[in-house]
A and B are shown apart, each in its own frame.
Chain A
Amino acid sequence: MLISLLRVVKFSIQDIYRNIWLSLVTIMILILSLFTINMLLVVKVVGDTAVEAIKEKIDINLFLKTTAEENEILALKAKISNLSEVKDVTYISKTEALENFKNKHTDNPEVLEALKILGANPLSPTLVIKPRNLENFDSLINSLNAFEDQIIESRNFANYKVMLGKINSITEKVYDAGLVLSAIFIAITLLVIYNSARVTMYTHRREITIMRLVGASKKFIQMPYLLSSIIYTFIGVLIIMIVFYLFLRLLQPYLEAFFVGYNVNLINYFFDNSLKIFGTQFLVAAVINVLASYLAVRKYSKV
């Protein structure tokens, strides 16, 4: 049994190097397919991060009258906090609002000068409301509109949901396009593996005839070719791990620049999930490739 297994491995390796160009083309196509699939994953991770980043930024500002008393404001804050759609309410007093404004415009002396000329603090106190989840965003807006408190001056309900929807839509479209691209590459891989096995079987037909004549079992005839497809997959996945790591090293600085203040580390993501990502890719690709090879060798290995 062990001897047979070792011979299957030996014949398989012989098969790969005797048809080295065919093997290289097969591996190259496999790498392209895997690269597309991993790119899809990158799109998904980046898309999810972008959506999360926007979700974090979504809040609703309720501007209050400058004459509003502190106790009235706190009472309103308490009422809003009790709404089920609300996650958190932050009260920004006039003084805090002025401080924030000044900090925001430290590089703009004209604005600060204008503020000085005004003399008094022109800013309103504000209640910053964070929604509990975006699905209830509309309901929250309705609830806030329903508040008839005299201290409310204006309601800034910019609809972030539209923006979020757009990002989701773009991500989904890119993802769908990636899926189609992946499907095309997978189909190409299947055809290439199938044809590689057929060409290999054709070039080895004499050897296979002799194997059949002298009493080799069908399994023994087929196994080296099936093993070759597993070896192709293994080499392909190994190369894609290296290539993709290099690719992510190049991409990472751009992502960090784009998502300032957010933790978007694709290298870490791929490292942390490497077994899951590449292990699954290896298993799925190996099963597909073995199947393609089996279909090709079945005809020639008939005893």
Chain B
Amino acid sequence: MIKFYNVSKIYPVDVRALNKVSLHIKPGEFVSIVGQSGTGKTTMVKALIGEERIDEGKVVVGGWDITDIKENEIPILRRQIGVIFQDFKLLPKKTLFENVAFAMQVCNGSPSKIRKIVPQVMKIVGLESKINRYPFEVSGGEQQRATIARALVHRPKILLADEPTGNLDSLNAHEIIELLLRINRFGTTVVLVTHNREIVNGLKKRVITLDNGTIISDQAVGKYIL
């Protein structure tokens, strides 16, 4: 599903965020990418969604070589990859329903499709009773659920979660991880980028550890080793 071949990303001046990274994530896998701040985790996420161009190597997503992806193809790629971030990125003046629907509206989703799919994804994330609430009216965990719902509206094959629990307490963080596991059980490939030791150790899934832009460990049932 995701293949990195000797991928390097060099920022000025000669800072190697990624250094000859090679990895292969199979469809339906749940993979945690761990490492301390500045080790290249977010650069990997950005390379996967076409936000950053790599300087060396090759990146393939779902059989599509996106190394030299054209600008007009990036939106197509992003509709196949759901992304969630630490800071939620919800629009404060829209309700949770409108926030999720917004992702479909801007991608030419028909009103009937929006009316059908948005309640479905809201139900998956357990927010069906709070669809008319505004972000400031719900907890951080619920806001993150809403962003997961938004990431799911295009039925992505891959869900990238970049530090999704960074702003949450342990209870809410645990619930978000449970939700990601549930989504993974539906067949979606989940890539979790985190430096939360407790979460990674509790998952008992594949763990890729990055250090200074290089993979130093890739364990099928791994632990946080840093």
A residues adjacent to B (C-beta < 8 A)? 1, 3-4, 7, 206-207, 209-218, 220-221, 303
Contacts and interface: CB of A to CB of B under 8 A. Distances in A.
A218 B71 contact: yes
Contact of B150 (A3, A214, A220): A214
Nearest to B151: A214
A214 B71 contact: no
Contacts of A4: 108
B171 to A, nearest CB: 27
Given A3-B110, A214-B154, A220-B107, 6 more contacts: A3-B111, A210-B103, A215-B79, A215-B107, A216-B106, A216-B107
| Interface residue range, chain B | 20 to 34
Interface of B: 49-50, 71-72, 74-79, 83, 89, 91, 102-103, 105-108, 110-111, 150-151, 153-154
B72 A218 contact: yes
A225 to B, nearest CB: 14
15 contacts: A3-B111, A7-B106, A209-B89, A210-B91, A211-B106, A213-B49, A214-B102, A214-B107, A214-B150, A215-B77, A215-B103, A215-B106, A216-B107, A220-B107, A220-B108
Contacts of A3: 108, 110-111
A144 to B, nearest CB: 76
Given A3-B111, A4-B108, A303-B74, A214 B91 contact: no
Contacts of A218: 71-72, 75
A213 B78 contact: yes
B89 A210 contact: yes
A3 to B, nearest CB: 6
Nearest to B79: A215
A213 to B, nearest CB: 6
Contact of B83 (A211, A213, A216): A213
A46 to B, nearest CB: 52
Which interface residue of A213, A221, A303 has the most chain B CB atoms within 10 A?
A213
B91 A215 contact: no
